[in-house]
Amino acid sequence: MATIAEQSTELRLATFRLARRIRAQKADQGLSDGQFAVLGVLYREGARTLTQLAEAERVSAPSMNRTVDCLEESGYLVRTADEVDRRKSNITLTDDGRDVVKATISKRDAWLTTRLRELSKEDRATLARAAELMGGFATQ
């Protein structure tokens, strides 16, 4: 029987490998994981400032500025001057940005659905329970 430390290592590695495989499913293979993460924040939360995006992704403002510049050049987002504070820019998704996020989510869900269909009903139930437990870890 594996120790809790060994189980932790196995779970961490399996989670990392699965996450990496899911992240590989993208509508635009040219997007880095960091770039897609920014698009995801804007998709879920709406317009954000550069500072808010940097804080959400735990990176420096200059690093986020480079990411936003690249995404803006690709046509996935736009910056508009804040109506209250003209020194700030609000960053929002374009239609192309929303489309690439939706297409990527769809592609990732389809890949995972295919894998789940290969499992028994019991194994799918086990993974569903594991997902519930792991979801609780994220809030701690």
* Residue boundaries of the structural domains of the chain: 19-138
pLDDT band at 138 (very low <50, low <70, confident <90, very high): confident
Fold that domain 19-138 belongs to in CATH: Arc Repressor Mutant, subunit A (1.10.10)
- Spatial CA neighbour of 127 closest among 112, 107, 140, 139: 112
The pLDDT tens digits of the residues spanning 117-130 come to 999 999 999 999 99
The pLDDT tens digits of the residues spanning 74-104 come to 999 999 988 888 788 999 999 999 999 999 9
Q: HSE-up of 90 (CA within 13 Å, CB side)?
A: 13
The pLDDT tens digits of the residues spanning 2-15 come to 899 999 999 999 99
Report, in angstroms and rounded to the nearest whole number, the Rg of the chain calculated over CA atoms.
18
Q: What does the pLDDT read at residue 137?
A: 86
Strand (E) or helix (H) holding 117: helix 95-117
